[in-house]
Structures are given as C-alpha cells and as structure tokens.
Structure 1
Amino acid sequence: MCGIVGLFIKAPELEQDLGRLLSGMLETMSDRGPDSAGFAIYGSDKADLVKLTLSHSDPAALERVAGALDAHLGYPAERTIRSNHLIVSVRRADEETARAFATAAGLRLVGAGKRMEIFKEVGLPIRVAEQFGLSGMSGTHGIGHTRMATESAVTTKGAHPFSTGRDQCLVHNGSLSNHNSVRRELTREGLSFETENDSEVAAGYLTWRMREGASLREALENSLKALDGFYTFVVGTENGFAVLRDPVSCKPAVMAETKDYVAFGSEYRALSGLPGIESAHIFEPEPAKVYAWERA
C-alpha cells in the first residue's frame, strides 16, 4: 500500500518549518506503511562542496571513519552524525575519493548531492522521524515515504527514498511489472542497483535519462512508455520536485497549492495539518501528467 508525501516551500519564511511540517505528514501516513520510513531534505549548500549521506549499523563506526577520512583527504570535512547516518561535506574534486574510502571502510552510500540529505530506517514512521530529528530540519523542499513491504524484504536498504543520481531521489507507491527487464537494460548502460526493489529501478531510469540530457519533465514523460505498472512517483531534485501518476491513476493521490507551498499526499489527511490548508487549491493530479515545481 505505502504512503508518500512531498512539500515544496515557496515562501522563504516557511523554510525553517519544513522538517516539522513534513514530519507531521509522514506520521499521518503511518498506517499505510508501518514497516519502514525515510525522507529526503533539500537544505543549504556551499560552493564546491558535495554532501555524502552514509550509514552504518554501528553509529560508533561513523565517527571513526569520519576521522580517518579527514586524515585521508588532508583536511577536516564538515560532518553531522544523526543516529546511524553520517552527512559529510567534501570538496567536489574529492567526491569519488571520499566515496571509495567510506565504502571500503564498511559504510553504505545512501545518497549524494549539493543540497540533498537522505535518512531511512526500519520502524514506524514517527520513530524514524524522531530518530533522525526531522522536525528540527529546514530547507526548501522534501519528500517522504512510509513502506508496507510487498515485493521485497523489510530492510534499511529497501526503504525509500531511492537515490541513483546526484541530488535526485524518488519515492513510489505501486508496483512495476517490467522492472526486471528495465533493470537489465540499465545495467548494460552502466548503472548498478543495491536491492531488488522496483522503485530503485524507477529512480535509475530517471537518472539514466537525465544523464542522456533529458530534463526531469522529459525523463518522467519517457517513463510513461518505458515503465509498465500502476504507480505514483514523487521525485526530488536539487531545485524542486515533481509528481507523476500512471495512465490509469490506480493509486490515491491529492495535492494542495497555496502562495506559500505545494504539497502532495497519498491521502488528504496528510495535508490537513498544513498552514492555510483551508484556503488552498486542492486537486487530484491527472493521470499520465507531469506536475513539476522548481526554485526560481
């Protein structure tokens, strides 16, 4: 079943409330996905730095590897540890070196980008949000997911969002029927996958199309032909987020837009606690139509 949410902030004064609002939306979707949860936050960035989100089952290992990484790079990298996830900012020229060092030391790369930070874990959504301190985070936009596992095991790796490209991630409600054949095609194109989850394939397809020069909108439009099944996608990028439903619109979806924000939820109740919701433009996204918003 699963529940997905997204929030794009238009008004700068609301950016400090992004995490608090997204946390409430995520908690409301708990009964649609109590197995695991995750979210991506697009916050501040610094010129020439790339954020790597890394994880390890033993939080103590994160501090040890972070210290060793500083010595390896020759400078102290900015870092934040939230439970069993480490966010480390390295110079763009050192990104591949840092990735290789961290993974060789046993850490798992969850995502990378100038602005994106991803957190996900097994457990009830409210506990996952509290574990990583979502309510205290700020930023311009974020997406989240509560998972009810159907086609694959309940694991941290299998939780959403899935990220296969820099500053790009995807959450998905539904099921793809041809994900194995698409996975084989993308593997031949040089992409690699960590899980058997069909949602990771969807994320990979968008990454591949965008690497080939397509815009996010074009990549999503192409996915309507390439990905077969019933689904709703919510996609985050460095500058915004987008929504796409399959041509039949099999899965529930509702959106709200005001002068201050755009919000998405699998059900209206996920949006009911947002400020000004009583005067928002509420609508159901049309089938096979891409909806996208970006920062100016």
Structure 2
Amino acid sequence: MEPQFGPLLAEMLSVMTDRGPDSAGFAVYGEKAPGSWKMTVRHDHAASVAAALAQAIGAPVTVTARDSHSVLTLPETHQALAREWLAANCPEMTICGDGRSIELYKEIGLPAQVADRFGLRTMAGSHGIGHTRMATESAVTTAGAHPFSTGPDQCLVHNGSLSNHASLRRMLIREGMHFSTDNDSEVAAGYLTWKMAGGATLAQALEAALTDLDGFYTFVVGTETGFAVVRDPISCKPAVMAETDDLVAFASEYRALTGLPGIAGARIFEPEPARVYAWEHA
C-alpha cells in the first residue's frame, strides 16, 4: 500500500473540503536514509540559508524544494547544532517539523490545492496524517494550519476545543517548550512532547492527557513508527476507524474512507470514549 499513500491521503483530504476550506496540511512518514535528519522549513531563500548552514556546521546540507516549503537533509549527528545555528542566524525561518522520517507541509487554501502545490499525489509513505481546517480560535494563517509538530518525528491534529490551553501553555513554557501560534492544538502537541520527553510512552502521554486537558477533542498523533487516536470522555466530536489486513485509517466522517481499497470488507467502528488506540509497524 505504501506507493499509493499520497494519492489516497490527497483524496481523503479533498472529500473533507467543506469541513475546513481555510487551510490544510499533511505529514508524511516516508523513506529514511540511515544517519540522516530531515527538517521541513518555510523560508523564501532556503537554498542560500542551507549553503551557509552547511559551512557553519561543517557538514553537507541538501535542499529539496516543494512550493513554499523546503526539506533540508543533513547528518543526524549535526541536527542539534543546525537548529541552534538557524535560531541564532535565521530566526525568520520556520521549522515545520523535523526527524528521521517526517516531512510536514501546510498552507492556506482548499485541501486539493494544498495537496497539489506540495505534490502529495506523487508521494509514497508508510503512514501519515492530514487535516483540513476551518479557523475558529485563531487567524487563517499558514502557521495556524495543522498538523503541529513539537518534537522529533511527532505531529498532531485536533478536532475540538481545549478550555485550559492558556494555563497549559504557560506551564509548558516554564518547562522549556516554545510555541509559535495561539492555537490550542499546538499546546496539545507540546504537552505530549513534554510527557514523552519525561519518559512516558505515547499511550501513557495520551492517557495522562485525559486528566490534564479539559475540553472536547479527538486527537490523532503521528510518530516515527505509527499513529494513535484518543477521544475525550464525552466524545461529542465525530470519529470513525477502518481496519483491513492491509491498512488502518481514521477520519472525522465515513465518507472520507469510501475511496480506500478494500473498504467494503473493512471493520468499521467508532473509537470508544477515553480509550487510546495505537498502531505501529511490526
């Protein structure tokens, strides 16, 4: 199924256009080069910045441009130094996501347009997450689009609203986290990154979120090896899952699943409230 990943996700996003026509984005977990680290960045002159970065860190940096974003690939051993140099010398560059596997793209516009701008239909991948957004709690901007990534090979999309995100943001900032938007989804992503940095597994972090995060929500979280889903105890936001021998898929509405191969024979179910569901590659 991996070669079909991009076209399938692009179609799922397009079907959901009327749920969120303001902006869209997606994270793709694709092929990994041993010892390499990828940074998806947003900058008008990424190639020239990459050349200066390579000279500064004393290591090769390659650039793959995709519309308004670029993927910088460098040795994993130099990724902390690269992030430090970029923060000091190119603060206007936005790092959308980074890790061994993840590439993360997002922009203003209809989901089909965003998918085509970044070439999603040509991408292969082991797994990934897409989101199309109607802005309700913050401005319609590229930065405010989903997914949000606050840790290596991690990303989150969120349907719902958190009522205590401001106090959580203040606590996480005191703990050393950094946020670039006022979006409550970025706070949720940061909370999970913080919990896992403290030694929690993804499942444990999501279980803790059921106590620490107030509001109504469905979270879908991507990691290097798979993804997880959790709904709040009330579960008023829609969610549906599909499983076959070849794939597992999540969507806010069943209609987004109808184009998937083998869907007619799939196990279709609604995730139970306050239960963590997770899938990983063997």
User: Please, which of 247, 254, 267 is the counterpart of residue 268 of structure 1?
Assistant: 254
Question: Are the counterparts in 1 of residues 62 and 72 from structure 2 also a CA contact under 8 Å?
Answer: yes
Q: Give the counterpart letter for 1:220 in structure 2.
A: L
Whole-angstrom CA distance in 2 between matches of 1:71 and 1:82: 23
Could you tell me which residue of structure 2 aligns to residue 8 of structure 1?
A: none
Of residues 272-281 and 62-71 in structure 1, the stretch that sits farther from structure 2 once superposed is 62-71
- Tell me, yes or no, if the aligned pair for 2:50 and 2:62 is still in contact at 8 Å: no
Distance 1:153 1:107 in 2: 20
Cα offset, 1:68, TM superposition: 2.3
Counterpart of 2:188 in structure 1 is 202
Greater RCO (CA < 8 Å, at least 6 residues apart):
1
Quote the offset at 1:269 in angstroms.
0.5
Please name the residue that 2:108 is paired with: 122
Equivalent of 1:30 in 1, 12, 17: 17
Q: How does 1:38-117 map to 2 (within 5 A)?
A: 38-56=25-43, 58=44, 61-103=45-87, 104-105=89-90, 106-117=92-103
Residue in structure 2 matched with residue 5 of structure 1 by the alignment: none
Secondary structure of the corresponding residue to residue 52 of structure 2: helix
Query: What is the alpha-carbon distance in structure 2 between the residues aligned to residue 240 and residue 164 of structure 1?
Result: 17
1:102, 1:108 within 8 Å by CA — same for their partners in 2? no
1:179 aligns with 2:169: no
Kindly indicate whether the alpha-carbon contact (under 8 Å) linking 2:47 and 2:63 is maintained by their aligned counterparts in 1. no
Cα shift at 1:38: 0.5
Q: CA deviation at 1:73?
A: 3.1
- The answer for the alignment partner of 2:6 in structure 1 is 19
CA contact (8 A) 1:38 1:146 kept: yes
Q: 1:238-293 CA distances to partner (integer Å, 9 max, x unpaired)?
A: 00000011111110111100000000010001000001100000111111110000
1:206-229 deviation digits (Å, cap 9, x = unpaired): 001101101000000000000000
Q: Distance in 2 between matches of 1:285 and 1:117?
A: 27
Q: TM-score, normalised by structure 2?
A: 0.97
Q: Name the aligned partner's letter for residue 25 of structure 2.
A: G
State the 1:139 CA deviation.
1.1
Q: Distance in 2 between matches of 1:163 and 1:75?
A: 25
Q: Which amino acid aligns with 2:65?
A: I
Q: How many residues in Structure 1 have an aligned counterpart in Structure 2?
A: 280
Q: Distance in 1 between matches of 2:46 and 2:262?
A: 41
Q: Deviations over 1:95-140 (max 9, x none)?
A: 1222233343232111111001100011111100000000111110
1:290 is aligned to 2:276: yes
Partner of 2:127: 141
The AA in structure 2 aligned to 1:80 is T
Residue identity matched to 1:66: A
Q: Which runs of 5+ in 2 are unaligned?
A: none
Aligned-partner Cα distance in 1 for 2:53–2:175: 31
For 1:293 and 1:41, how far apart are their aligned partners in 2? 16
Cα distance, 1:141 vs structure 2: 0.2
1:120-269 → structure 2 map (5 Å cutoff) = 120-269=106-255
Contact 1:172 1:199 (C-alpha < 8 Å) held by counterparts: yes
TM-score (norm. length: structure 1): 0.92
The DSSP-based 3-state class of the residue aligned with 1:203 is: helix
